C-alpha cells in the first residue's frame, strides 16, 4: 500500500490563461487536423471530436449530422452486422468508428464486419483496460487487421498507454470514471482525475508516435478546449451529445415537458436491455437519468465548435493543433458565477 501525494486535477480545477493573439475572428481558426498513425499507413483529416459509443449517443443518425462538420462517431456495439454493412457504402461511413468488446463472440462479430464493411477505424472498448487479456486481444487484432486505425481503452496511466501503443494501438482511449452516466468511482473507488490523466497519457503516447482520446468528463464546450489544451488529440463526448433528436434513448413526456432517457453502458438499464439481467457477481456502474430534450444535435455541435474556436482566439492558437502549445492552465477555486443559474444560453 502507498499514497501518491501529488495533486491531480479535473477540468473544473483549472482555467485557460488568455494570451496575446493575432487572430481577429473565430472563423480564422483552423479546426481540422491531419493525423498519421504509428501502425498503419492510413491518414485521417477532420475535426477530432467523437460521439461516444453509448447506445444513446453512438447512433447512425448522429453520425450523419456529425459527418457534415467533419466529426467522428463511434457506433455502439449492438448494431446488427447487416445494418453496418448496409451503411458501409455511405459517405459518412468514413468517419464512423466500429466498436467491439474482446470476448470470442465479440471478435466473431467484428470479423464479419471487417470482411464486408472495411471501416477506417476500429475501437476495442472495455471498462478496465488493465486486464492481461486485453493486451493479448490487442496484439491479435492488430495482426489480423494491419491496415485499420486501431483505438483501444480505457486506461488512465502512462505505463498502460505505452504498452498499448507498443503492441499495435494507434489511439489510446483515456478515462476511468469521469463520465456523467458513470458510477465506477462511487462503486469501486477507482479512477483518476481526467485532466491529469489526459496530460500524463498524452505525453506517454506522443513519445511513441501514438495519440490519445480524452473520453469523458466534459460538461461544457470549455472543457473540450481544456482537454485539447492538455494534449488530447481527440475528445469523446457522451452526455453533451445525449438528449437530441438523433440520439438514442426513449423520448418521454412529463408534466408537459419532454425528456430523453440517458444511461451508461454499465448501468442496470443497459445490461438488462442487452443481456437480460445484471449478473450476480457484479454491480451496476452506470446511471440512468432523464435529461431535457434538446432538439437537433446540430445546434449543440455548433455550440461546441464555437466554444473551442473562441478558446483558440483567447490563447493565440491559429490552429486547433496548436492549442496545447499555447496553453497555460491556472488553478482556480471557482469556474463561474452561477447566482442567476447555470444556463449557457
Name the grid cell of 315.
Answer: 490563447
The verdict on whether 182 is a catalytic residue reads: yes
Pick the catalytic residue: 56, 62, 184, 269? 184
Residues in the chain: 345
What are the backbone angles phi and psi of residue 101, rounded to the nearest 5°?
-85, -165
Interacting residues of 341 by C-beta distance below 8 A, sequence separation 6+: none
- Chain centre distance of CA 323: 18
Q: Measured between alpha carbons, how far is 52 from 34 in angstroms, rounded to an integer? A: 21
Pick the catalytic residue: 56, 57, 123, 182? 182
Burial class (CB in 10 A: 0-12, 13-18, 19+), 253: exposed
The verdict on whether 344 is a catalytic residue reads: no
Q: What is the DSSP letter of 147?
A: T
Beta bridge partners of 15: 330
Strand pairing category for 329-331 and 257-263: unpaired
Q: Measured between alpha carbons, how far is 266 from 272 in angstroms, rounded to an integer? A: 10
Interacting residues of 206 by C-beta distance below 8 A, sequence separation 6+: 231
Look-up of cell digits 448496409: 86
Q: Measured between alpha carbons, how far is 293 from 19 in angstroms, rounded to an integer? A: 37
Neighbours of 140 (CB within 10 A): 14
Strand pairing category for 211-215 and 43-46: unpaired
Burial class (CB in 10 A: 0-12, 13-18, 19+), 211: buried
Q: For the chain, what is the radius of gyration of the CA atoms?
A: 19
Q: Measured between alpha carbons, how far is 291 from 315 in angstroms, rounded to an integer? A: 33
Active site residues: 182, 184
Amino acid at each position: 500500500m502507498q499514497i501518491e501525494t501529488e495533486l491531480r486535477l479535473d477540468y473544473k480545477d483549472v482555467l485557460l490563461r488568455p494570451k496575446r493573439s493575432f487572430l481577429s475572428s473565430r472563423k480564422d481558426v483552423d479546426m481540422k487536423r491531419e493525423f498519421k498513425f504509428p501502425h498503419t499507413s492510413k491518414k485521417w483529416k477532420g475535426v477530432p471530436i467523437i460521439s461516444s459509443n453509448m447506445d444513446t449517443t453512438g447512433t447512425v443518425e448522429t453520425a450523419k449530422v456529425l459527418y457534415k462538420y467533419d466529426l467522428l462517431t463511434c457506433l455502439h456495439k449492438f448494431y446488427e452486422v447487416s445494418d453496418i454493412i448496409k451503411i458501409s457504402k455511405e459517405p459518412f461511413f468514413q468517419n464512423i468508428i466500429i466498436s467491439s468488446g474482446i470476448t470470442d463472440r465479440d471478435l466473431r462479430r467484428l470479423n464479419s464486419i471487417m470482411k464486408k464493411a472495411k471501416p477506417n477505424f476500429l475501437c476495442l472498448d472495455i471498462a478496465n483496460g488493465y486486464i492481461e487479456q486485453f493486451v493479448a486481444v490487442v496484439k491479435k487484432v492488430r495482426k489480423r487487421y494491419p491496415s485499420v486505425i486501431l483505438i483501444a481503452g480505457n486506461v488512465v496511466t502512462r505505463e498502460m498507454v505505452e504498452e498499448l501503443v507498443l503492441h499495435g494501438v494507434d489511439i489510446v482511449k483515456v478515462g476511468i470514471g469521469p463520465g456523467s452516466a458513470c458510477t465506477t468511482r462511487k462503486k469501486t473507488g477507482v479512477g483518476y482525475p481526467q485532466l491529469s490523466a489526459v496530460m500524463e497519457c498524452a505525453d506517454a503516447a506522443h513519445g511513441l508516435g501514438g495519440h490519445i482520446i480524452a473520453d469523458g468528463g466534459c460538461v461544457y464546450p470549455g472543457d473540450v478546449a481544456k482537454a485539447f489544451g492538455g494534449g488530447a488529440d481527440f475528445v469523446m463526448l457522451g452526455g453533451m451529445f445525449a438528449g437530441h433528436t438523433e440520439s438514442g434513448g426513449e423520448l418521454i413526456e412529463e408534466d408537459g415537458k419532454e425528456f430523453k432517457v440517458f444511461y451508461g453502458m454499465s448501468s442496470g438499464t443497459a445490461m438488462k436491455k442487452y443481456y437480460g439481467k445484471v449478473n450476480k457477481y457484479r454491480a451496476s456502474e452506470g446511471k440512468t437519468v432523464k435529461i431535457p430534450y434538446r432538439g437537433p444535435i446540430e445546434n449543440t455541435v455548433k455550440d461546441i465548435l464555437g466554444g473551442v474556436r473562441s478558446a483558440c482566439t483567447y490563447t493565440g492558437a491559429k490552429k486547433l493543433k496548436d492549442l496545447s502549445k499555447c496553453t497555460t492552465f491556472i488553478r482556480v477555486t471557482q469556474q463561474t458565477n452561477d447566482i442567476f443559474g447555470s444556463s449557457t444560453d
